């Protein structure tokens, strides 16, 4: 009742300023979300990087398996170290580990071939990448 046309305009202008500031804030939030989404999509579609990450993961798994096999081989023949003078038991242990690895590869030819192909592809990609 006591509001005149001037007071109403002042109140509307304040609401517009407030909503403009809110809109700017919302726009910034949406831009950040959109940027994050674009970055996530770019990461998913980057096949080369994903292949490298997968190859690194397989490489780490293979190294862990190798270390596990070597430690099992060492623990299965504890008396060999003391019986050979000057560390002569190392070649025999290495040969035993290699034989054990060969038998596992023969027992599981498909995973072994897949691992070999993956490592070969990785190395080929590294060599091809050096020509850039």
What is the structure's pLDDT at 32?
94
Q: How far apart are alpha carbons 37 and 40 in whole angstroms?
A: 5
3-state secondary structure of 105: helix
Q: What is the mean pLDDT of residues 54-78?
A: 85
Q: Which DSSP state fits 108?
A: -
Instruction: Give me the chain's average pLDDT, please.
Output: 78
Q: What is the mean pLDDT of residues 62-83?
A: 74
What is the structure's pLDDT at 132?
53
The packing angle between helices 89-107 and 109-129, to 10°, is 110
What is the structure's pLDDT at 7?
56
| Phi, psi torsion values for 131, nearest 5 degrees | -75, -10
Residues 106-121: tens digit of each pLDDT: 888 888 888 888 998 8
Residues 82-98: tens digit of each pLDDT: 444 444 577 787 888 88
The encoded tokens of residue 50 equal 């994903």
Q: Which residues contact 70 (CB under 8 A, 6 or more apart)?
A: 93, 97
Q: What angle do CA 11, 12, 18 make, to 5 degrees?
A: 90
């Amino acid at each position: 009742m006591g509001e005149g046309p001037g007071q109403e305009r002042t109140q509307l202008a304040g609401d517009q300023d407030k909503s403009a500031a809110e809109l700017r804030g919302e726009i910034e939030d949406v831009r950040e979300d959109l940027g994050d989404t674009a970055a996530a999509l770019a990461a998913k579609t980057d096949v080369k990087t994903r292949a490298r990450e997968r190859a690194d993961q397989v490489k780490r798994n293979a190294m862990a398996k190798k270390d596990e096999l070597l430690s099992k081989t060492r623990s299965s023949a504890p008396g060999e170290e003391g019986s050979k003078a000057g560390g002569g038991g190392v070649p025999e242990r290495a040969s035993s580990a290699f034989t054990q690895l060969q038998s596992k590869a023969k027992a599981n030819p498909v995973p072994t071939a897949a691992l070999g192909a993956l490592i070969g592809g990785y190395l080929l990609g590294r060599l091809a990448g050096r020509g850039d």
